[in-house]
Structure 1
Amino acid sequence: MLAPQPLYHIIYHSLAAGEGISPENLMHLLRQARAYNQDHRLTGLLLYAADTHEFVQVIEGPRDEVQYLYAKILHDPRHKHSFTLHEGLATGRMFPDWRMGFAPAATQDLRATTGYFPLVEQPDYARPPGLAVHAPEQLRRFLSDFATPLASDE
């Protein structure tokens, strides 16, 4: 029998490819994610700003499952310019009851997660210097604001 894996999480930012993702395709993506996540003991939250096509997502669960899913996301043609805001061991789940919660987000709110680094305007779209050092607590505070009835897992 395999030993249980430690709880792990990844928080990342990316842009939707092309002209963004339609509401219908977003709902389809969420249905797929929720089914997959249930089967793989994953939970999390997806935020999407439709005006700038920006995603911020939290994925949490067993380390191997989280890392495998994130590797798939990095190669998913629906995403571009993905970068990790934070990853590491977690002492508990931020979204334990959500196979994949979702909330639409205003661009200014997403950018507040990083203290507004000009993410989209950067020519090479690299992670802002120093972000990983400052992100965890700031991101957790920001993301916990979405743990309300507005962000649903239905």
Structure 2
Amino acid sequence: MPLVQLIYVSSAWRELSEDELYDILESSIRHNTQQGITGVLLYTNGSFMQVIEGEEAAIEETYSRICDDDRHKDVFLLSKEVIAKRDFPRWAMGFRRLSRGEFESHPAYAPLLPDGFDAERIGAQPGVATEMLRQFSGA
């Protein structure tokens, strides 16, 4: 079965607390470890950007579960592609909460994050989502 990388952006219904973010991360790590999925989750200003990598069936099931999760809305698929190797193999789920100052210190990315991750602007620039995920996760 092919190895797939999927990247999406979504919005939380409201700003999440540290405890709520920790619960999401803990649940993701547990699920992803069982499914052989790796990836990174970025969060800023009530907005998520996530990459998940793994076998196609596991990615499809996980993405379906994400779309049905009532903690967020407006799930926007940025990319889904077959890959030869994982870009984020170190984490069952890496995580980083970004402050406004962090992304403003990267002038190329600041316009893509006016009040969170702007899915349309990010999606209009092929490869920029992967670059941002690498940059902000330290991958």
Task: Please classify the TM superposition score into its range, dividing by the shorter chain length.
Answer: 0.7 to 0.9
Q: Which residue of 1 aligns with 2:78?
A: 85
C-alpha contact 2:10 2:76 (8 A) present in aligned 1: yes
What displacement does 1:134 show? 2.8
Structure showing greater Rg: 1
Aligned residues: 135
- Between the aligned partners of 2:3 and 2:111, the Cα distance in structure 1 is 27
What displacement does 1:63 show? 0.7
Q: Which residue of 2 aligns with 1:20?
A: 15
Report Cα offsets for 1:6-65 as digits up to 9, x if no partner. 110111100111x2211011111111110110000000000001xx20100001100111
Unaligned runs of 5+ in 2: none
Say if 2:136 is the partner of 1:146.
yes
Q: Which has the higher helix share?
A: 2
Unaligned runs of 5+ in 1: none
| Residues 34 and 86 of structure 1, relative CA distance in 2, 3 Å threshold | same
Pairwise CA RMSD? 2.7
Q: Which residue of 1 aligns with 2:112?
A: 116
Q: Secondary structure at the match of 1:25?
A: helix
C-alpha contact 2:38 2:54 (8 A) present in aligned 1: yes
Letter in 2 for 1:11: I
| TM-score using structure 2 length | 0.82
Q: Which residue of 2 aligns with 1:134?
A: 125
| TM-score using structure 1 length | 0.75
Q: Secondary structure at the match of 2:90?
A: coil
